[in-house]
Amino acid sequence: MATSAVPDLNAAGLKRDASLEQFRLFGLSFPALALVVVVLVIPVAWLFVLSFVGADGAFSLENYTRMVELKSYRRIFLITFQVSFITTALAILAGYPFAYFLAQMPPRIANLFMIAVLLPFWTSVLVRTYAWLVLLQKQGLINQWAISLGIWDEPVAMVNNMSGTLIGMLHIMLPFLILPVYGTMKAVDQDMVKAASSLGASPTRAFWSVYFPLTLPGLFAGALMVFILCLGFYITPAVLGGGKIIMVSMKIVSNIELFVNWGAASALGVVLLVIAGIILWAAARFVRLDQLAGGGH
């Protein structure tokens, strides 16, 4: 008994030391965490409180009932979801095959084509949105060329509307889909596909029943990231939508810049955040959050 009591005592001390050490290590993340709390958590909590303050300064739910009652607000949410859904769908349709192409090419060629994904990814969103504005406007390049080639006669309105917004958003969002999908595709064991085909599966069958399911986690992570980013997007719809496509984020800005209505803006922000939170929470069972950013490009 006595001989084993000494190591036990020691073990308790060591254990305490070890957990103290772990906590000290963890403490290294405190400066970063503190900054996030000061700039993000506290202000957002503050906005949450503001959203329950009515025009008369007393507690009120008017900022929330307004969203349900006013048709203009319902429309804003409808457009936000519409733009987000369509952009995500287009990004999947265009991005998945491109990621597949990258994954199938020998590394040297794939790296070259990767520039096409990484260069836009790194380039300022504002610059890219501006580029589309220049290309798509009435006197823009695409109209000039289409008319001189006789594809259409009159300048077509491709910007300051839904189509311009969608083109611009798709361009911004594609890398967010392609990178995680490419990541999971590279991790797929090619022997699985070979095994399927040696067992008699046609290439199409092998793709859909073996390869595609194995890449779903990446596709899911990418689509989720695109959708969440779209929900709160501001610059591209503001520049390419021409005031016709009003998304929630734009209404938040105009509520503050034009109407100085903090309550209304805050309530919109809270609703936007709650929607994004619910989607992420539901998705967290299927996808690891650190996969969202494409694993660190």
Q: Considering only residues 35-64, where is the footprint of another protein by CB under 8 A?
A: 35-44, 46-47, 50
Of the pair 154, 290, the CB lying nearest another protein is at 290
**86/131 with CB nearer another protein:** 131
List, in order, residues 6 or more apart from 177 with CB less than 8 Å away: 91, 92, 95, 96, 99, 219, 222, 223, 225, 226
Least distance in Å: CB of 135 to another protein? 6
Q: 110 or 162: whose CB is closer to another protein?
A: 110
- Output the six-digit token pair for 93: 């349709």
Task: Please report which helix (H) or strand (E) contains residue 278, including its range.
Answer: helix 262-283
CB of 237 to another protein, least distance (A): 11
Out of 53, 86, 92, 131, the only residue in the binding site for another protein (CB under 8 A) is 131
Interface residues for another protein in 103-122 (CB under 8 A)?
Answer: 104, 113, 115-120, 122
* Distance between CA atoms of residues 8 and 20, nearest Å: 18
Please, are residues 169 and 239 in contact by the beta-carbon 8 Å criterion?
no
Measured on CA atoms in the order 178, 183, 184, 190, is the torsion positive or negative? positive
Among 7, 10, 13, 26, binds another protein (CB under 8 A): 26
Q: In this structure, what token pair is assigned to residue 175?
A: 């890398």
Minimum separation from the CB atom of position 146 to another protein (A): 14
Q: Does 235 bind another protein (CB under 8 A)?
A: yes
Site for another protein in 249-278 (CB under 8 A): 249, 252-253, 256, 262, 265-266, 269, 272-273, 276
Q: Considering beta carbons, is residue 54 or 97 the nearer one to another protein?
A: 97
Q: Which stretch binds another protein (CB under 8 A): 9-17, 53-61, 63-71, 286-294?
A: 286-294
Binding residues for another protein restricted to 64-103, rule: CB under 8 A? 94, 97-98, 100-101
Closest CA to 229 of 247, 243, 241, 242: 247
C-beta separation of 174 from 117 below 8 A: yes
How near is the Cβ of 258 to another protein at its closest, in Å? 13
- C-alpha dihedral sign at 205, 85, 182, 180: negative
Query: Could you tell me how many residues of this chain bind another protein (CB under 8 A)?
Result: 94
Residue number with CB closer to another protein (2 or 23): 23
Q: Which of 84, 88, 137, 143 contacts another protein by CB under 8 A?
A: 137
- 218 contact partners, CB below 8 Å, separation of at least 6: 180, 181, 182, 183, 184, 185, 291
Instruction: Please list, in sequence order, all residues whose beta carbon lies within 8 angstroms of the beta carbon of residue 197, skipping any fewer than 6 positions away.
Output: 203, 206
CB of 294 to another protein, least distance (A): 8
Helices (H), 141-261: 141-148, 162-187, 190-198, 203-206, 212-231, 235-240, 248-257
Q: Name beta bridge partners: 53.
A: 59
